[in-house]
Amino acid sequence: MEDPKPKIQLIEDADATGDVAAVYDEWRRKSGRQNVPGILKCFSHRPDFLREVMKFSDTVHFSEGHLTRRQKEAIASWVSYLNRCPY
């Protein structure tokens, strides 16, 4: 049986302090969502790098280009489903 604990220890929203809390708050303000997704929390031990990941993600995932944001979100949802990963 698989160990349900993640390999990377995440800093949860309620436990975030200092720079991590500030970055989480920036993400909440920008996204309008309450809980920071686990994929971003993977970088929580390096808030400076987390900011860069968020900036990159905004550019790649949430900008218009050859695909619309809606199409990108649909693809991301489908891939998450195929990987049995909550999105």
pLDDT, position 3: 62
Domain annotation covers residue 2: no
Helix H, strand E, coil C: the string for the chain is CCCCCCCCCCCCHHHCCHHHHHHHHHHHHHHCCCCCCHHHHCCCCCHHHHHHHHHHHHHHHCCCCCCCHHHHHHHHHHHHHHCCCCC
Percentage of the chain surpassing pLDDT 70? 92
pLDDT, position 26: 95
Domain annotation covers residue 8: no
Domain annotation covers residue 18: yes
pLDDT, position 69: 82
Domain annotation covers residue 24: yes
Domain annotation covers residue 40: yes
Domain annotation covers residue 3: no
Q: Measured in whole angstroms, how far is the alpha carbon of residue 6 from the centre of its chain?
A: 15
Total domains present in the chain: 1
Domain annotation covers residue 32: yes
Domain coverage including residue 76:
13-82
* Low-confidence spans in the chain with pLDDT less than 50: none
pLDDT, position 53: 94
Q: Measured in whole angstroms, how far is the alpha carbon of residue 12 from the centre of its chain?
A: 12
Domain annotation covers residue 55: yes
Q: What is the pLDDT of residues 37-50, one digit of tens each?
A: 988 999 999 999 99
